[in-house]
Amino acid sequence: MFKILKYSFYDLARSRWSYIYFLFYLVLALVLLFLNHDLSKAVITLMNVIIVLVPLIGTIFGVMYYYNSREFTELLLAQPIKRNSIFLGQYLGISISLSLSLFLGIGIPFALYGLFNSAAIWDFSLLLITGVFLTFIFVALAFNISLRNENKIKGFGYAVLLWLFLAVIYDGIFLMSLILFEDYPLDKLSLAGTMLNPVDLSRTLILLKLDISALLGYTGAVFKQFFGTNLGLFISLAVLFLWTIVPTFSILRKARRKDF
């Protein structure tokens, strides 16, 4: 598994798209810090970008890598190698490569601007953790979609639709539900609705840590009222971990049963 992980990691490390992904965050962080020297405000601005862009890139990269390396995967399957090792190695290789690009892209500018001597280091650390979680989650979801669809066009279509639903459509449906049922107690509904979407959950997690949960309106108020800041952070991280583990086990289960 580690050999396959290393191959997948180096394969993506040589890809120009990985460099573009890295340079995008590098330039974005430098521009934000140049225009505004307040690290905390820069973290909030980056959050709005990362919450949307990281899931999109993770989904597209995951689908692209699976379909482009399908022939190599079939060659590996013909060898005395466990299927779990092959697919888990590929999944981790992609996820770690994208996470490293994100980490270095926004980490280098912040380090140059004195992050380690600033109180914003904890907020920045949480931003990175959230970005890594979203990368692992959406790469895993992309692999699940790819394993279930042999047709590339369908795979890409379902992957983009999944991102669009979780990043945009879900919020609209959730908001309409809160408006339509405003006469009923919606505390538990709002909490459950937030946890069922890793994008919304990540946004809530960061805003709780920044102690500006009022920006989330009703959901943020309920989240803080029920859990408090520290407990809310712990529960959010635990749910994000579940969002990572469940699709990963689904990859392994589907890979064992799939006829290649």
Return all residues near 183 (Cβ < 8 A) that are at least 6 apart: none
> Considering only 45-49, 129-133, 227-231, which range has the smallest mean pLDDT?
227-231
DSSP helix/strand/coil, 100: helix
Core vs surface per residue 206-239: b (16+ CB within 10 A) or e: bbbbbeebeebeebbebbbeebeeeebbebbbeb
Report the predicted TM-score, pTM, of the whole model to 2 decimal places.
0.89
The whole-angstrom separation of Cα 6 and Cα 153 is 28
> Considering only 102-116, 121-135, 180-194, 207-221, which range has the smallest mean pLDDT?
207-221
What is the pLDDT at residue 165? 92
Checking if the pLDDT of 89 tops 60, the result is yes
Half-sphere exposure at residue 87, Cβ-oriented, CA atoms within 13 angstroms: 27
- Rg of the chain over all Cα atoms, to the nearest angstrom: 19
What is the pLDDT at residue 216? 55
**How does residue 79 score in pLDDT terms, banded at 50, 70 and 90?**
confident
Checking if the pLDDT of 258 tops 90, the result is no
Angle, in degrees to the nearest 10, between helices 187-195 and 198-209 = 110
Q: Which two tokens stand for residue 97?
A: 């490569």
What is the pLDDT at residue 135? 94
**Phi–psi pair at 95, nearest 5 degrees:** -65, -45
**Can you give the residue ranges of every domain in the chain?**
2-257
Cβ pair 107, 20 in contact under 8 A: no
